[in-house]
Amino acid sequence: MHESPEIEGLEQLRDVHVAALNDGDADAWAECFAADAVQMPPNMPANVGIDVIREWSRGFLGAFNAEFSLDPTEAVEAGPDWVIESGAYEIALTPNGGEGEPLRDHGKYITVYQREGERWKMARDIWNSDVPLPAQT
């Protein structure tokens, strides 16, 4: 995806986001978010505010080793300080301790970025799996 000069810094933030997940660094991941950000993981309540996002991230990355990638397909400027991005993700989660098969998922996401000074932060982040839920018995 080609980014306009006005939103060029998003690639750097995206790289930090992906690296933090792959390195298991919950604090670095949380720092990608604005102070009042909302993170909306699938099948659970939203995480509101950077402190809640950080705490949730520590639990999530404390339970799994992640292999994560993003494939942004569209970024739309929604004003001088806002960008809405959509794309696809892939993730494999291996339980910490290495026992068990990795959980593999792929799906789509929308992230709303907000410029804070010279830097971009994630203001809203939502992702949804394309993998069907197991049948209920």
Q: Provide the b/e sequence for 90-102 (b: ≥16 CB within 10 Å).
A: ebbbbeeeeeeee
Side by side, the strands of the sheet bearing 82-95 are 47-48, 33-40, 119-129, 103-116, 82-95, 64-77
Ordered structural domains, the chain, with CATH: 5-129 (3.10.450.50)
Q: Residue 5: which pLDDT band, with cuts at 50, 70 and 90? A: low
Distance CA 11, CA 102 (A): 28
The reported pLDDT for the residue numbered 86 is: 97
The reported pLDDT for the residue numbered 3 is: 53
Q: For a pLDDT cut of 90, what percent of the chain falls above it?
A: 77
The model scores a pTM over 0.75: yes
Q: Which residue has the tokens 């990795």?
A: 102
pLDDT tens-place string over residues 66-98: 999 999 999 888 888 999 999 999 999 999 987
